[in-house]
Structure 1
C-alpha cells in the first residue's frame, strides 16, 4: 500500500536513514555499480564501525550480538509415547 509507513516502520526508517545520511550527503551516483559499491562500504561503516548514541554508543552489530547472547531460547518439550 502506498503512503502507509506504519505497515513496515523498520523498513521505512532504514530507507530514510539511507536517504538522509548517504544520498543527501552527496553520494548519489548515476552509475549503479559504483553506487552499489559506495553504498556497501557505507553500510559496513554504519553497522560495524560507527557507534550510535541511541544504542549506548555501541555499533548496531555489537548491540544485536549482545541482545542475542542474552536471549534465552525456549526449550522444546520432549515427549515419549507410552
Structure 2
C-alpha cells in the first residue's frame, strides 16, 4: 500500500488501481511485459496524484489535498 494511505481507504485504492490499469491498457492498446507495465503505471499514478490538477478538488492535486489534512 502506498505511503500515507490509511487502511479504510484500501478498497478505494485497489479499485482505483484496477481502473487506472484498464484505462492505461485502453489508451495504449498494446501488450507489455509486467516490468514495462509497472513502469508505465507508476508514471501514470505519479502524474495523476502529484502533477495533474483535478477539477473536483478545486484544481488541486490529490497530494495537495492530502497534505492539507
TM-score range, shorter chain: 0.5 to 0.7
CA offsets 1:4-50 (integer angstroms, 9 cap, x no match): xxxx4x232x0224423x22111643311111111111111111000
**Equivalent of 1:16 in 12, 15, 19:** 19
- Moved >4 Å (runs of 4+): none
Q: Which runs of 5+ in 1 are unaligned?
A: 1-7, 69-82
Aligned length, in residue pairs: 57
Q: Give the TM-score, by structure 2 length.
A: 0.68
Of structures 1 and 2, the larger Rg is shown by 1
1:19 alignment partner, SS class: helix
Q: Give the TM-score, by structure 1 length.
A: 0.59
Q: Which runs of 5+ in 2 are unaligned?
A: 1-10
Q: Which has the higher helix share?
A: 2
Higher relative contact order (CA 8 A, sep 6+): 2
